[in-house]
């Protein structure tokens, strides 16, 4: 009997090669677990059982060693946040507006992963249109935290984090516009990568805020995360904001260790807003880095306090424009089907772009954006990477903040400036407090993912928090 | 009362690039089956992103250069947000505060004049030249007894260049001159067919009348009338002429009655031969422009711009001037020969071939113009043959010529009297009579001199 909670991408692919189990066995084990346990967690919106099993069987029937070389993720189960367009598989954005929308094309990353041999198990729940940090804004019901189902799993990639944490899939794709991968990863004891803006194609992923959106993923381990980025990164000629150069490999330097690596701690990230429980876990993590030989340096990112204000101006402005196409004329339902949060952001964004207000809001926010970027540029003159808590608080109870949108927005304080600056961030498990997971984020200069993996991997090998799994 | 007309112009020119502005779909749509040149990008499907067409951008810059614009080395695209069923994304990708070209100018004829002279020039200032995308096309039809609106997205995303002038036109004549010149320029650049009937060139004049009539153009802001009327849906030079005349009359009547014409958009109605109100100022949009986040800013350095400048080539005005100088022909024929690049090139080829046979460039110009040769069915050497034929003169002895002249003059004594009384154009009649009587191709100058000599003797 296979236990999916012990599996990683690495162990699955090796198990296939060593004929430890078949692709069909793995795929059906995951599907069975989803069927049995997901009703209490609600991490999936659509399960593509038939297609997944058919594909698994077809692969099993033609398995050769050569195929493993040609298809780096051959037979690997995967699930996508429902923001990813999947050809012939319903794609809802977790909104009633697109409840019955079936895309005519696959997004670039979906195509790349399919071409690498991955098998789609289904589409994952999240805050509708990726608006939110708790999963509660989904119009398909909230997703629950497997560590304690009375608590939120974070968001917006709530289903992605829960599915990986619960052993429903070894790999879930998410999107991170203001923390939507890193924060749920932190709340569920999983590894979440927010790549540099311009590293992974956004083509074929429903846009939230185009200048901030990044396409990343959640896995059990850092090594798995690096492996997946090797597939998803790079140009496709469909996204004009993509960067040309790619490193030769993201996994090559994983084992190099971090002796002598200079790691900064931004003092603004552990200020008064941060819960003592979170601070405690973070301080313990800092000690681990020191024991691994890293040099810890205090740094300052003075414009951090403006992050939320800048983010909720730029992001809502872009949201208001990006959601304009959902008018129900050619597909989907009309605009009355939008939920409260989407309507709130459309109104805020429309307001900040309106004649007479543009200069005071949007233009000013763009100017501050430049200052936030400069903060990071200057910090990375002094250090190789930064570490910080992902969320100022532990996961909160379902329903606790739903009537206080501002309190909900303030939860993003430690994640949004990373998106504003466009730099990469890797969230890794760092321990627990009261039975709830706490993660930390490792941040680096643009296109420094290789370094982040190296640092994250060292920490993970030392601490092994990832091996803890929720009892379901 | 006397008013001074103030007109500004917005012109949209569709580029003839192979692919659309932001995707790989074919940009041709005229006569194509609806919704066959589409993809997720130009349909505005979820997740689709724009990738700008470099050729279109460079052609836009070339148009700007040909209109003597300054080029913004740092430029960008912006989103213009508004709802309309033909606009797939709910916004149009356009340019707001940093258009590719700005502050240009071109000269047009200020008023109709004698043909032989280079006309008085009027400078029209170009405010901006920017790049944007076309929308889909709506058709309102009755299908199976039901009134429906059909959308064809083949046109969605076709590259459009918008050229905006300052309010420098004083009348419809200048507007038409400008439009013809602009059309000629984009055709010279080979970036658009600019066929108005196919919608490849669309124009929107804004017209107002000033009660202050003692100012000089260019008009200053304080002299600008407090309203303007924009006219859309004009698809020929003839209609722009009519529409402006109509508006001038309509607005003058209102002003005479002490009313201020409404600030509004009107459409030219071909059947009514009139402009009709379409949209008033109260419905004006707030487009909520902001930088298009899906497309990084675009930079063109000095060297790239001068490279594009070198590709602009000889423009119509320069060509006219060169023809006048090089081929020793008057302005008017030079202007006719350069209206179309194919004719201009054919003419120059014919002149080159003709020079070997001692046939002058002026003779060839006459042959091309008089026979309306466009060089599509006639080769330059055939034109030279025609010129040779027309230049051939029969020999005649001076005694034979004098004899014929004398006989013609005595047969037309009355005409001779008239000529002597000062009716000089009678000479042409006598000349014709002499040539006809001779039954030969004679040198007209020789005959003319012979006639004058005999009459005056």
Residues 6+ apart with CB under 8 A from B95: B75, B76, B77, B78, B130, B131, B132
Residue of chain B whose Cα is closest to the Cα of A86: B47
| Burial of B40: CB neighbours in 10 Å, binned 0-12, 13-18, 19+ | buried
| Burial of A471: CB neighbours in 10 Å, binned 0-12, 13-18, 19+ | exposed
Domain B398-456 CATH (choose: 3.30.2010, 1.20.140, 3.40.50, 1.10.10):
1.10.10
Q: How many CB atoms lie within 10 A of CB B178?
A: 25
What's A95's DSSP letter? S
CB A104 to CB B44 under 8 A?
no
Q: How big is the A-B interface in CB pairs under 8 Å?
A: 91
Q: Is residue A52 one of the residues assigned to a domain? A: yes
User: Given CA atoms B15, B16, B19, B25 in this order, what sign does their dihedral have?
Assistant: positive
Percent of chain B with pLDDT over 90: 69
pLDDT tens digit string along A299-316?
Answer: 999 999 999 999 999 999
Are A402 and A152 spatial neighbours (Cβ–Cβ below 8 Å)?
no
> For residue B294, which residues of chain A lie inside 8 Å, CB to CB?
210, 239-241
Share the mean pLDDT of chain A: 97
| Burial of A139: CB neighbours in 10 Å, binned 0-12, 13-18, 19+ | buried
Q: Which of B46, B79, B286 sits opposite A355 (nearest CB)?
A: B286
| Per-residue model confidence (pLDDT) at position A91 | 98
A257: left (phi over 0), alpha (psi -120 to 50) or beta: left
Section A312-337 average pLDDT:
97
Distance separating alpha carbons of residues A453 and B190, to the nearest angstrom: 53
- Is the pLDDT at A26 greater than 90, yes or no? yes
CB A91 to CB B290 under 8 A?
no
| Per-residue model confidence (pLDDT) at position A183 | 98
pLDDT tens digit string along B91-120?
Answer: 999 999 999 999 999 999 887 765 556 667
Query: The whole model's pTM is what?
Result: 0.91
Structure tokens at B29: 């749509």
CB B296 to CB A237 under 8 A?
no
Q: Is residue A2 one of the residues assigned to a domain? A: no
Q: Which of A105, A209, A210 sits opposite B40 (nearest CB)?
A: A105
- Is the pLDDT at B282 greater than 60, yes or no? no
Say yes or no: A406 contacts chain B, CB-CB below 8 A. Answer: no
| Per-residue model confidence (pLDDT) at position B415 | 87
Residues 6+ apart with CB under 8 A from B340: B187, B374
Distance separating alpha carbons of residues A150 and A129, to the nearest angstrom: 24
Report the range of poorest mean pLDDT among A33-47, A441-455, B278-292, B342-356: B278-292
> For residue B56, which residues of chain A lie inside 8 Å, CB to CB?
none
Structure tokens at A235: 């140009």
> For residue A241, which residues of chain B lie inside 8 Å, CB to CB?
293-296
CB B81 to CB A324 under 8 A?
yes
Query: What is this model's ipTM?
Result: 0.96
Distance separating alpha carbons of residues A112 and A80, to the nearest angstrom: 13
Q: Is residue A330 one of the residues assigned to a domain? A: yes
| Per-residue model confidence (pLDDT) at position B433 | 87
| Per-residue model confidence (pLDDT) at position B429 | 86
Structure tokens at A78: 């995967």
Q: Is residue A472 one of the residues assigned to a domain? A: no
Query: Which residue do the tokens 């233009």 mark?
Result: A363
CA A80 to chain centre: 11
Quick one: pLDDT band at residue B281, thresholds 50, 70, 90? low
Interface of A with B in 73-102 (CB under 8 A): 85, 91, 93, 98, 101
Section B334-345 average pLDDT:
94
Say yes or no: A367 contacts chain B, CB-CB below 8 A. Answer: no
Are A439 and A388 spatial neighbours (Cβ–Cβ below 8 Å)?
no
Strands A119-124 and A77-81: parallel
Tell me the backbone φ, ψ of residue A363, rounded to 5 degrees. -65, -45
Which residue, A230, A217, A214, A227, is CA-closest to A190? A217
CB B46 to CB A238 under 8 A?
no
Report the range of poorest mean pLDDT among A438-447, B159-168, B251-260, B274-283: B274-283
User: Which residues are bridge partners to B426 per DSSP?
Assistant: none
Share the mean pLDDT of chain B: 91
pLDDT tens digit string along A201-252?
Answer: 999 999 999 999 999 999 999 999 999 999 999 999 999 999 999 998 999 9
| Per-residue model confidence (pLDDT) at position B285 | 77
Are B49 and A322 spatial neighbours (Cβ–Cβ below 8 Å)?
no
Are B275 and B269 spatial neighbours (Cβ–Cβ below 8 Å)?
yes
**CATH code at A38?**
3.90.1300.10
Section B296-310 average pLDDT:
96
Quick one: pLDDT band at residue B349, thresholds 50, 70, 90? very high
Q: Is residue A37 one of the residues assigned to a domain? A: yes
Domain span holding position A392: 7-467
Report the range of poorest mean pLDDT among A405-409, B156-160, B392-396, B401-405: B392-396
Domain with CATH 1.10.10 in chain B: 398-456
| Per-residue model confidence (pLDDT) at position B284 | 63
Interface of B with A in 91-110 (CB under 8 A): 91
The shortest C-alpha distance from B128 to chain A (Å) reads 21
Percent of chain A with pLDDT over 70: 100
DSSP B218-247: SPPGGGS-S--EEEE-B-SHHHHHHHHHHH
| Per-residue model confidence (pLDDT) at position B114 | 56
- Is the pLDDT at B357 greater than 90, yes or no? no
Q: Is residue A425 one of the residues assigned to a domain? A: yes
User: Which residues are bridge partners to B211 per DSSP?
Assistant: none
Q: Is residue A171 one of the residues assigned to a domain? A: yes
Say yes or no: B89 contacts chain A, CB-CB below 8 A. Answer: yes
CB B89 to CB A325 under 8 A?
yes
* Catalytic positions of A, written as ranges: 81, 156, 180
CB B45 to CB A103 under 8 A?
yes
- Is the pLDDT at A129 greater than 90, yes or no? yes
- Look at B416 and A121; give whichever has higher pLDDT: A121
Q: Is residue A197 one of the residues assigned to a domain? A: yes
| Per-residue model confidence (pLDDT) at position A98 | 98
Section A429-440 average pLDDT:
98
Percent of chain B with pLDDT over 70: 97
Are A143 and A153 spatial neighbours (Cβ–Cβ below 8 Å)?
yes
Report the range of poorest mean pLDDT among A168-172, B53-57, B112-116, B414-418: B112-116
Structure tokens at B118: 């280079």
| Burial of A103: CB neighbours in 10 Å, binned 0-12, 13-18, 19+ | buried
| Per-residue model confidence (pLDDT) at position B115 | 57
Domain count along chain A: 1
- Is the pLDDT at B406 greater than 70, yes or no? yes
Quick one: pLDDT band at residue B370, thresholds 50, 70, 90? confident
């Amino acid at each position: 009997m296979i236990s999916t909670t012990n599996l990683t991408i690495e162990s699955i692919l090796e198990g296939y090669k060593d004929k430890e189990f078949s692709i069909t066995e793995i795929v059906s084990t995951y599907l069975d677990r989803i069927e049995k346990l997901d009703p209490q967690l609600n991490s999936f919106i659509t399960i593509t059982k038939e297609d997944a099993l058919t594909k698994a069987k077809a692969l099993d029937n033609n398995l050769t060693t050569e195929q493993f070389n040609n298809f780096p993720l051959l037979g690997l189960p995967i699930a996508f946040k429902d923001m990813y367009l999947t050809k012939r598989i319903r794609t809802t954005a977790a909104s009633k507006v697109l409840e019955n929308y079936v895309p005519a094309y696959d997004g670039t990353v979906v195509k790349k992963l399919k071409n690498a041999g991955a098998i789609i198990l289904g589409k994952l729940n999240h805050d509708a249109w990726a608006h939110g940090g708790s999963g509660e804004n989904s119009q398909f019901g909230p997703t629950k935290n497997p560590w304690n189902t009375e608590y939120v799993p974070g968001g917006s990639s709530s289903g992605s984090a829960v599915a990986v944490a619960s052993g429903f899939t070894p790999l879930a794709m998410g999107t991170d516009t203001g923390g939507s991968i890193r924060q749920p990863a932190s709340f569920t004891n999983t590894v979440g990568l927010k790549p540099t803006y311009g590293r992974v194609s956004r083509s074929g992923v429903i846009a939230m805020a185009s200048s901030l959106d990044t396409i990343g993923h959640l896995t059990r381990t850092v090594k798995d995360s690096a492996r997946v980025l090797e597939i998803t990164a790079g140009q496709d000629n469909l996204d004009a904001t993509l960067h040309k150069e790619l490193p030769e490999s993201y996994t090559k330097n994983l084992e190099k260790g971090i002796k002598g690596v200079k790691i900064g701690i931004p003092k603004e990230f552990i200020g008064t807003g941060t819960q003592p429980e979170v601070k405690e876990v973070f301080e313990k993590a800092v000690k681990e880095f020191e024991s691994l030989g890293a040099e810890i340096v205090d740094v300052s990112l003075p414009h951090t306090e403006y992050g939320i204000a800048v983010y909720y101006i730029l992001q809502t402005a872009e949201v208001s424009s990006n959601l304009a196409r959902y008018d129900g004329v050619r597909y989907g339902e009309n605009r009355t089907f939008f939920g409260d949060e989407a309507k709130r952001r459309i109104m805020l964004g429309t307001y900040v772009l309106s004649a007479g207000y543009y200069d005071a809001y949007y233009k000013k926010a763009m100017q501050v954006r430049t200052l936030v970027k400069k903060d990071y540029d200057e910090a990375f003159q002094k250090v190789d990477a930064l570490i910080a808590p992902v969320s100022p608080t532990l996961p909160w109870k379902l329903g606790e903040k739903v009537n206080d949108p501002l309190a909900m927005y303030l939860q993003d304080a430690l994640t949004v400036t990373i998106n504003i600056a466009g730099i990469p961030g890797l969230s890794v498990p760092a321990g627990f407090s009261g039975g709830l997971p706490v993660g930390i984020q490792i941040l680096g200069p643009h296109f420094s993912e290789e370094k982040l993996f190296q640092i994250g991997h060292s920490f993970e090998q030392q601490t092994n928090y990832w091996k803890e799994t929720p009892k379901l | 009362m006397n008013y001074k007309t103030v007109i500004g112009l917005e012109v949209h020119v569709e580029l003839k690039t192979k692919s659309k502005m932001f995707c790989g779909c074919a940009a041709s749509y005229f006569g194509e089956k609806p919704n066959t040149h589409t993809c997720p990008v130009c349909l505005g499907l979820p997740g689709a992103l724009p990738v700008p067409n470099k050729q279109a951008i460079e052609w836009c810059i070339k148009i700007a250069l040909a209109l003597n614009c300054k080029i913004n080395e740092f430029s960008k695209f912006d989103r213009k947000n508004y709802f309309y069923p033909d606009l797939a994304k709910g916004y149009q990708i356009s340019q707001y505060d940093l258009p590719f070209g700005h502050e240009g100018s071109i000269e047009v004829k200020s008023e109709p004049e004698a043909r032989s002279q280079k006309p008085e020039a009027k400078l029209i200032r170009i405010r901006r030249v920017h790049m944007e995308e076309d929308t889909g096309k709506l058709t309102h039809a009755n299908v199976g007894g039901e009134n429906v609106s059909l959308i064809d997205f083949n046109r969605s995303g076709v590259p459009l260049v918008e050229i905006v002038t300052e309010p420098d036109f004083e009348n419809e004549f200048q507007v038409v001159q400008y439009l013809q010149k602009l059309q000629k320029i984009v055709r010279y650049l080979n970036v658009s067919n600019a066929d108005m009937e196919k919608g490849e060139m669309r124009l929107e004049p804004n017209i107002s009348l000033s009660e202050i009539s003692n100012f000089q153009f260019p008009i200053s802001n304080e002299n600008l009338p407090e309203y303007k009327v924009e006219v859309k849906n004009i698809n020929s030079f003839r209609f722009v002429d009519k529409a402006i005349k109509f508006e001038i009359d309509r607005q003058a009547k209102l002003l005479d009655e002490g009313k201020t014409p409404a600030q509004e958009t009107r459409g030219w109605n071909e059947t009514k031969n009139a402009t009709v109100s379409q949209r008033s100022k109260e419905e004006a949009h707030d487009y909520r422009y902001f930088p298009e986040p899906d497309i990084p800013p675009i930079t063109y350095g000095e060297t790239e711009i001068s490279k594009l400048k070198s590709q602009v080539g000889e423009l119509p005005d320069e060509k006219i001037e060169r023809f006048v100088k090089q081929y020793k022909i008057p302005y008017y024929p030079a202007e006719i020969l350069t209206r179309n690049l194919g004719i201009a090139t054919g003419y120059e080829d014919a002149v080159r071939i003709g020079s070997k046979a001692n046939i002058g460039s002026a003779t060839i110009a006459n042959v091309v113009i008089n026979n309306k040769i466009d060089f599509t069915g006639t080769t330059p050497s055939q034109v030279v043959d025609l010129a040779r034929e027309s230049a051939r003169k029969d020999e005649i002895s001076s005694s034979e010529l004098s004899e014929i002249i004398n006989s013609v003059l005595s047969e037309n004594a009355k005409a001779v009297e008239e000529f002597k009384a000062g009716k000089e154009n009678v000479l042409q009649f006598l000349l014709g009579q002499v040539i006809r009587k001779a039954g030969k191709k004679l040198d007209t100058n020789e005959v003319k001199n012979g006639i004058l000599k005999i009459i005056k003797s």
